Structure 1
Amino acid sequence: MDEHEFELDGWSRWDMPSDDYYDMDEFPEDFTGYDGSEVWTFIHNRIGFHDDTVADEYDSDNWKADFNKAVSGLHSMVSAQVIRGIGQKITDGEDFDEDVVWTDPQVEFQRRLSPNGETPKAIENLYFSYMLMLTAVASARNRLLNDCDSGKIDADAAAALRPVLAHPILDDPSIYVAAKKLHDHAVKDEGSVEALWEARMRSRDLMRIMNCVQCNKCRFHGKVSVLGLTTALQVILGRTGNGGDASRIHRVELAALMTALGKFSSAVNLVEAMQS
């Protein structure tokens, strides 16, 4: 099975392989105290699409709003992981550094994710991106199962992967709502096709921006998450809006897709727990 080469106008951009490898179990995504607000402000201001004539940049009837919604969902997922990390630090009885101001998970949930917080649609956008991840994994399921059967995926990894790919949620029609919205907007008219090309370029810029994150652990997990989301867009939309060929997605992208799905699932679970 041939895997596609580096695409100049593809959705994904990832670093060339090096001799540095990370075991995510030994390099977990926990609370570091790093303030990434400037990075996210830049992302929303410069990577997102903005139109002074549009009242809602997340729910307007066009592809640009869909892109904004997906990026916002990514931000919401990261915020959920920060909140989870704060709670875990408290549970473990660990002290916060003196300069850390985020020490209350409930306060941070209200500020970052609640409808009355800084981004009123943060949770809605999180679910939107989560549905995209689920749809992409469902679309790539046969490829992943073939790789498990052929031995291309390590036996331990394949054993962990098979139950995920067999989960009934991947066959639930409701998860395809977000992807259908993306597709319909992407092929709506000539302007949508042009916006789709620009969105691909911006998704690649999003990965470059992650290199500006000054926390090594945050940068690592941020880049994996971005690659996972952009891979989902590659699978769902491809270059034309009609979908990509999952059989030609690189293994690096598939690994990021599955890892990011786990992150989004964890974020959704945290939101449900905080709301209960």
Structure 2
Amino acid sequence: MWKNVLLLWLAFIIGLNGGHSQWFGNIVESNKGDTAATERCFCQLKGAIDDCSCSVETIDSFNNLKVYPRLNSLLHQDFFKYWKVNLNKKCPFWEDDSRCAIRYCSVKPCTEVPEGIKGSGKILGPEVKSKARPKDVSDCDHENDLGYLNTTLSKESQARFERWAAHDSAQDSFCELDEVGDHDSQYVDLLLNPERYTGYVGDSAHRVWKSIYQENCFRPVKNPYADFSNIGADEFLKEMCLEKRTFYRAVSGLHSSINIHLAARYLLSDKTGFEVSSEGVWGHNIEEFQRRFDPELTGGEGPRRLKNLYFLYLLELRALAKAVPYLESLTYYTGNEEKDRDVRNAVKDLLSVVKSFPKHFDESSMFSSGLMQAATLKEEFRGHFRNISRIMDCVGCDKCRLWGKLQVTGLGTALKILFSGNFDQQLSLSAVRETKFQLSREEIVALFNGFGRLSSSIMELETFRQESLR
């Protein structure tokens, strides 16, 4: 009996995820895809987004014309490009046996960090008067090896940097955050370590997403072991409540976003001409995109996965809009007074655009079905997501782990904003400053960069669409 149950459940996982469960694919020699196959991905990617009062077309226009240019510029600023992370945590669920297939997931520290970034200061509070300015750092201006991670700071600098982190409330957290004082945590320059294909393969690479979907996503109530491989995810989602559907769509949207970036920044060649290149040749791999999203190759699930990306975009957009008073009150301190002022102005400009969107995700109807039942469901929701954040420590490729942890932390921060109750009423600036609720610097950087990944994914979809028409 249990053998049959196991087989049915495995069929459910395979049918639900198809190629979606494979984070990284193999290197292919050709970048030429089937135009008709790519068009199939997009002809079904239109119209209303489930559980939202918005359309794909509306988001495309809003993001590509208004959000992405502002956000992309902002994320190049010092405050948002340095993120503290522990890449040495042991996987709590299994022994890591993964291997990177190519050298671009290797780690090499950048020897220096601009002095202003090492300064101390509060991200929430009065304007900082420090006139410290970062010095030029020639060896960090460019990514000499695109696979390297910038991880070096002195212990003294780390101690000063820790003052940036505010104490967040544990009961509101949806993520297992790295400890602020953890000596294994290091600052990395996100611009020097872009999210892209790394050749990460092996059992561990497949096990990460399989564990997320199989053990940490909500299952159908009526028959959790049913074989949905022939009817698709929509059928089993119909019998789930809004909260559980939201959870699944958010995770699927995150997965889709990651897959888009891997296909958009794919290693096309290790050579420039006849010579081996130290940096490689990177670009859009249409075949890889089709493999992950073509409806004929994914049992009809590819376009739904892309729509889940738009769903997640709306969810995180709503979190930013809900936290506008708080986010506008931060000083975004780096020690460079002029640049910090520019960042604050840029943040306010971006948030004004975020507020202007007429059809945000509506979280008000979630966790509202009776006090005890809602509390139990919210705790289950939080527990599942905290487990997912822990699974990110099982990713065997350092660069993949970096971006997995950052994007999961960004989504967890968005959920914290939406469901902590701290922003259910519009707060004045004075009220914001008096509240005990705070986000750490790492959460704020992850929130903006995580949303930036979603914004970039939607832009990349337009690029794939245009390339399919050539």
Instruction: Tell me how far 1:5 sits from its aligned partner.
Output: 3.8
Question: Which amino acid is 1:184 matched to?
Answer: S
CA contact (8 A) 1:197 1:239 kept: no
Residue in 2 that maps onto 1:99: none
Residue in 2 that maps onto 1:172: 357
Give RMSD over aligned pairs.
Answer: 3.3
CA distance in 2, matches of 1:24, 1:157: 19
1:261 maps onto 2:459 in alignment: no
Between stretches 206-215 and 21-30, larger displacement belongs to 21-30
CA contact (8 A) 1:186 1:192 kept: yes
**Residues 14, 267 of structure 1: CA spacing in aligned structure 2 closer, same or farther, 3 A cutoff?**
same
CA distance in 2, matches of 1:214, 1:131: 30
1:32 to 185, 198, 210: 198
- Measured against aligned partners, the alpha-carbon deviations of 1:117-163 in whole angstroms (never above 9, x if no partner) come to 53431111101111111111222233222213x84786546634643
Instruction: Tell me how far 1:240 sits from its aligned partner.
Output: 9.7
Between stretches 17-26 and 56-65, larger displacement belongs to 56-65
Residue in 2 that maps onto 1:53: 222
CA distance in 1, matches of 2:439, 2:271: 43
CA contact (8 A) 2:321 2:354 kept: no
**Residues 244, 49 of structure 1: CA spacing in aligned structure 2 closer, same or farther, 3 A cutoff?**
farther
**Residues 51, 228 of structure 1: CA spacing in aligned structure 2 closer, same or farther, 3 A cutoff?**
same
CA contact (8 A) 1:114 1:123 kept: no
Alignment of 1:218-237 (within 5 A): 218-237=400-419
Residue in 1 that maps onto 2:189: 23
Instruction: Tell me how far 1:62 sits from its aligned partner.
Output: 2.3
**Larger fraction in helix:** 1
**Residues 84, 72 of structure 1: CA spacing in aligned structure 2 closer, same or farther, 3 A cutoff?**
same
Give structure 2 stretches of 5+ with no counterpart. 1-123, 126-165, 224-234, 277-282
Residue in 2 that maps onto 1:62: 242
Between stretches 31-40 and 110-119, larger displacement belongs to 110-119
1:10 maps onto 2:173 in alignment: yes
Alignment of 1:79-118 (within 5 A): 79-86=259-266, 89-90=267-268, 105-118=285-298
CA distance in 1, matches of 2:306, 2:463: 13
Residue in 1 that maps onto 2:138: none
Alignment of 1:146-157 (within 5 A): 146-148=329-331, 151=333, 155=337, 156=339
Between stretches 263-272 and 31-40, larger displacement belongs to 31-40
CA distance in 1, matches of 2:191, 2:334: 21
1:271 maps onto 2:271 in alignment: no
CA contact (8 A) 2:167 2:440 kept: yes
Between stretches 263-272 and 208-217, larger displacement belongs to 263-272
**Larger fraction in strand:** 2
CA contact (8 A) 2:313 2:451 kept: yes
CA distance in 2, matches of 1:239, 1:191: 17
Give structure 1 stretches of 5+ with no counterpart. 97-102
CA distance in 2, matches of 1:66, 1:45: 16
Question: Which amino acid is 1:31 matched to?
Answer: Y
CA distance in 2, matches of 1:85, 1:115: 22
Between stretches 207-216 and 49-58, larger displacement belongs to 49-58
Helix, strand or coil at the partner of 2:313: helix
Largest Rg, 1 or 2: 2
1:186 to 367, 372, 377: 367
Between stretches 185-194 and 204-213, larger displacement belongs to 185-194
Instruction: Tell me how far 1:187 sits from its aligned partner.
Output: 1.4
Helix, strand or coil at the partner of 1:90: strand
How many residues get paired? 263
CA distance in 1, matches of 2:177, 2:452: 19
Runs of 4 or more consecutive aligned structure 1 residues displaced over 6 Å after TM superposition: 243-246
CA distance in 1, matches of 2:460, 2:411: 19
Question: Which amino acid is 2:322 matched to?
Answer: S
Q: TM-score, normalised by structure 1?
A: 0.81
2:391 to 202, 206, 209: 209
Alignment of 1:138-149 (within 5 A): 138-148=321-331
Instruction: Tell me how far 1:56 sits from its aligned partner.
Output: 2.9
Instruction: Tell me how far 1:93 sits from its aligned partner.
Output: 5.8
CA contact (8 A) 1:62 1:192 kept: no
Identity fraction in percent: 27
CA distance in 1, matches of 2:329, 2:334: 8
Q: TM-score, normalised by structure 2?
A: 0.50
1:130 to 293, 306, 313: 313
**Residues 152, 144 of structure 1: CA spacing in aligned structure 2 closer, same or farther, 3 A cutoff?**
farther
